Amino acid sequence: MASLVKLFQNCKISGLLTNSAKCIVVPERTIYKFIKKPSPGTGHAYRRIVHYPKEYTVKPLDVTNLAGRDPVTGRVVAKGIGGGIKHKFHWVVFTRDGPKEGPPQIERVIDVIFDGCRTAKVALVAVGDQLKYIIASENMKPGDIIKTSRFIPRIPVRANEGDAYPLGALPVNTKIHCLEKNPGHPYHMITAAGTYGTITRKFGEHVVVQIPSKIEIAFHQTCMATVGRVSNIEHGRTPVGSATRKRELGYRPRSGLWQRKTGKHGRKIRKPPPMRIAKPPGAPEPKAIRLTEPTLALKSNY
């Protein structure tokens, strides 16, 4: 009886006005609204939103945890993200800018602190009357003096750990991190905890660097890089220890079902890919112009 009541609730009766003797029961179909669900790995982060102010500050910034959900629709996108301790975010300045001629710029390390929103430690650095955060190197400690320069001398410099120089100014076999992909472009490589790149050789105006994935990439000699290895080198070798600790790090548990391992989990020895040259960033796409003037819109229709 309940099923019949539910059926007639989703039905409409037509033909009562035209012909009262004939009644046709037509069930209405349910209309579904499909929402395009975003996919991870498209350049959008679904772990947290950082609330940046208009001007740079060393004050810890507030964050909003997303727990793997899309901030617009609220749908779960990344199932492996969820929970975690809420941390403050420290605004790191990756660009190390110095004089192009003359003596290098002198900077002093004030403090080296832990940042819960990244794997590496950050260092509070004083430059003149300004303060900023940078990625700390392996042996960096408060009171250290670091140098920054964009000058490329004829003879390679003997840089200390934490100094920032162009790739053309550093000798071969130097360990580096926070490497610019293109000169002056705000995109830096090798910033994770314990990672480093190695300068292998030079040719022309390019310097070949072996990144942590053992791939060799040729960068322009004017690209800035920081000497040394990224701090917190024990990060990758420290065991999690418990499921509670995994939740505190912001990872949602898996299903727990046993799954058979396939051949993709085996060890494969492959030849490393050939060296490639870092290409400059492409030109931005032109924006569409929309006419909002009523007179222009009427003229465009004729």
Residue 36 lies in a domain: no
Name the E strands within 42-113. Answer: 48-50, 63-65, 105-113
CB 63 within 8 A of CB 50: yes
64 belongs to a structural domain: no
CB 246 within 8 A of CB 183: no
What local confidence, expressed as pLDDT, does residue 15 receive? 46
- Token readout for 72 is 């617009």
Kindly report the pTM of this predicted structure. 0.76
Q: How much is the pLDDT for 38?
A: 75
The number of residues making up the chain comes to: 302
Per the domain annotation, does 121 fall within a domain? yes
Is 240 within a domain? no
Domain boundaries, position 106: 92-233
* CB-based contacts of 159-164 (< 8 A; 24+ apart in sequence): 159/227, 160/227, 161/137, 161/227, 161/228, 162/109, 162/137, 162/226, 162/227, 162/228, 163/104, 163/226, 163/227, 164/96, 164/98, 164/224, 164/225, 164/226, 164/227
CA 195, CA 231: separation in Å to the nearest integer?
8
List the CATH number of the domain containing 119.
Answer: 2.30.30.30
Within-domain flag for 116: yes
Instruction: Kindly state whether residue 196 falls inside one of the protein's structural domains.
Output: yes
Q: Which amino acid is at 166?
A: P
- Using an 8 Å Cβ cutoff, are 272 and 212 in contact? no
Mean pLDDT by 10 residues, the chain (302 residues): 55 48 55 69 82 93 90 86 89 92 93 92 93 94 94 92 94 94 88 94 93 93 94 91 89 79 73 87 82 61 50
Residue pair 178/273 in contact (Cβ under 8 Å)? The answer is no
Tokens of 38: 């975003």
Structural domain includes residue 57: no
Number of domains in the chain: 1
246 belongs to a structural domain: no
